[in-house]
Each structure stands twice: as structure tokens, then as C-alpha cells.
Structure 1
Amino acid sequence: MNPEPFLALVAVLTPAILAPGPSIIAATQMALSQGRDKALPFGLGLAFGASLWCLFALFGMAVVFKLYPPLFLAAKFLGGLYLLYMAWGLWRGARSPLPEAAKRRFGNGFFGGMILSLSNPKPALFYSAVILTLFPDPQGGAMITAIYATALMTEL
């Protein structure tokens, strides 16, 4: 196993985790309003749920995108449009007062964080693109375990 792709995975994944999105906003709101004791299990659930997207990419989505490159291109294009739509909404609402903290539909604990993370499409596309690029043909249980462990530890 060559360490360069794993280091690249950590280097690319770290800023993506820290980019503002629903998970970061929910964890920050919870930490500020309810304290660390409540936010920590939620944050662990967010990390575990996001890391599951890595497994999904390793066991299927990356393969589908590799077999059907136009589908991968379409997913990247639609993901870019979605990000532009989000940016436009943030730009338009920048002067509006902040809303009250959102109620969590799936709970405040570990499973609430995991479900929120699994409901976010950003990690799905991200992991598929990164796994396909850095590990074009991951084979063997040891390699797949090492990739997942790297993703999970970085998410945590």
C-alpha cells in the first residue's frame, strides 16, 4: 500500500468536512445552545454517517460511475449547480436576521447525527469522486479497510 493516496484523501477530506453545510451548522448550533455533552454524541454520529458514504462509494457508487462515465459527469454537473443555488440563497439572505435553531427531526444524539449525515447528498458525490480518483481499483479487504479507516479517522 502506497501512503500517497491516503495522505491525499486526508488532505482533500479535511477541508470538505470543515466547509459550512447542514452538518456543521447543526453541530455548531447544538454545541452553542446545549453544550458539549449533547453535541459530542451528535458530532460522532455525523462523522460515522459521513464515513458510511465512503463504504457506499467503495462498494457500489464508484463502480457505477466508473462503468457509466456520463452519469459521473452529470452528477458532478448537478452537484455544481446545487452549490451555486446554495450560494445564491446565502447571498440573497445575507442581510436577514438569523433564524432560531432548527428542530432536529431525527433526534439530538448519535443516531440523529448519523441520519442527518446520511441524508446529505454532498458526501455521497464527494466520496465517489475522490475514491474513484485516488483509488481507481481498490481490491482486497485490507485495502478497503485501510481506505475506510482513513476516512473514518479523518471524519472523527
Structure 2
Amino acid sequence: MSFAAFFGIYMISLAAAISPGPAVLLAARTSLREGFARGAWLAVGIGLGACIWAVAAMFGLAILFRIAPTLLVALKVAGAGYLLYLAWKMWRHSAEPMSMDLPEDDAKRSALGQVWRGIAAQLANPKPAVFFGTVFLTFLPPVVPFWAYGVILGIIFFNDTVWNVLVARIFSLDRTRAAYLGLKTLIDRIFGGLLGLMGLKLALT
């Protein structure tokens, strides 16, 4: 593979990582409430989840979607419903003050638990499934050396992880947290509205 091919994959992967989505919002909210370290471990899980979708795409996800297009429709409908549920939940509780005391299950969650949480959030998110099953594959050459798959997965993991670690860092700062607490209702409703729009867009396209 040429440098240009790797660079194209890097750029399209970075664009997908930084585009607003449930993973970015989860990293932001986790860091606001639980601190940078827990948000960073979550980001690692998000990166690993993206790699799982990439592997699925490189080894048959697109073929599966072509053979059984109803599977893609079902995935999109289920994902849209999940995003709309999250949006409704966020909007419903937006006016409630944010308690910094973690629920017992969250407080007991280890670093590895945060990683698994990030993986689960990414696998439940239809956005990477659609991206890797369609757009991503168009950037792969017809013939890919075996060693190049490792480089590609490294690029994807790096982009998703580093971006969400950056998000976690920004939202873990005291100044950011203070601003959020002062505007919690508005910000939660904006985040909830964005999730709702993502869900509607996914369901209608």
C-alpha cells in the first residue's frame, strides 16, 4: 500500500472520529462526572470498539449487508431507537441537579470496566457500522497486504482513542465543569436534541 492510501484512510477515519456522536457525548459526560482518568479508559474502549467494526467491515460486513439488506435496515432502526431513547432520557433529567456522587455500580467500575463500557457503547452505536461498512471500504485498495491491516487498525485505534481522550481532558477541567453546572439544563437539552436528531437522521436515511 502507498503512503497516499494510508493517508486517505487516516483522514477519513479522523473525520469519523471527531464527528459528533454518542461516543463523543459519552466521553464528555463521563469525564464531567467521573474525572479524566475514567474518561480516558472509556476512550480506549471506544477506540477498540471502532477497530472491531473495522475488522468486521474488512472481512465481510459489506458483503453481508449486500446479501441481506434488511439486516442493515434492522441495525439502523435499532440504533435509531437507542439514540432516541438516550435523547429522551437526557432531556427528561436535564433540569435535575447533577450529583457528583456516583451510583454504586459506576463507583465500583474498574479501569477495565470502563474499557468494556466504551467497547459496548461503540458496538451498540450504528454510526461506525454504517461508516465502516460503506465509506471506509471505498478507501481500501482492491488488494491489501496482510501487514497493512495491522497498520490500518492502528490508525483507527489512534484516531478514535486520542480524540476521545482529548474530549475527556477538556470536559474534566474544573473550569469546564463549573461552566457545565451553571448551564446544565441548557447543555443537556442541546446534547439530548443532538442525539435525537442523529436518531431521526439514521432512521430516515
Report the TM-score when normalising by structure 2: 0.57
Q: Is the contact made by 1:45 and 1:114 (CA closer than 8 Å) also made in structure 2?
A: yes
1:152 corresponds, among 154, 157, 160, to 157
- Alignment CA distance shift 1:90-1:66 (3 Å): same
Give the aligned residue type for 2:153.
Y
Separation in 1, partners of 2:102, 2:73: 36
Matched, 1:49 2:48: yes
Counting matched residue pairs gives 149
Deviation of 1:82 after TM superposition, in Å, equals 1.7
**Alignment partner, residue 114 of structure 2:** 113
**Alignment partner, residue 130 of structure 1:** 131
Separation in 2, partners of 1:63, 1:124: 20
Q: Which runs of 5+ in 2 are unaligned?
A: 162-205
Which structure features the higher share of helix residues?
A: 2
Q: Which runs of 5+ in 1 are unaligned?
A: none
SS at match of 1:104: helix
Matched, 1:72 2:72: yes
**Alignment partner, residue 30 of structure 2:** 26
Give the aligned residue type for 2:24.
A
Report the TM-score when normalising by structure 1: 0.71
- Alignment CA distance shift 1:56-1:27 (3 Å): farther
CA deviations on 1:40-94 (whole Å, 9 max, x unpaired) are 7624643443344333443454443343222112211221122122112211221
Separation in 1, partners of 2:14, 2:147: 18
Give the aligned residue type for 2:137.
P
Q: Is the contact made by 2:9 and 2:152 (CA closer than 8 Å) also made in structure 1?
A: no
Deviation of 1:152 after TM superposition, in Å, equals 0.6
Q: Is the contact made by 1:48 and 1:155 (CA closer than 8 Å) also made in structure 2?
A: yes
- Alignment CA distance shift 1:88-1:96 (3 Å): same
Give the aligned residue type for 1:78.
A
**Alignment partner, residue 89 of structure 1:** 89
SS at match of 1:136: helix
Give the aligned residue type for 2:110.
N
Identical-residue share of aligned pairs (%) = 16
**Alignment partner, residue 19 of structure 2:** 15
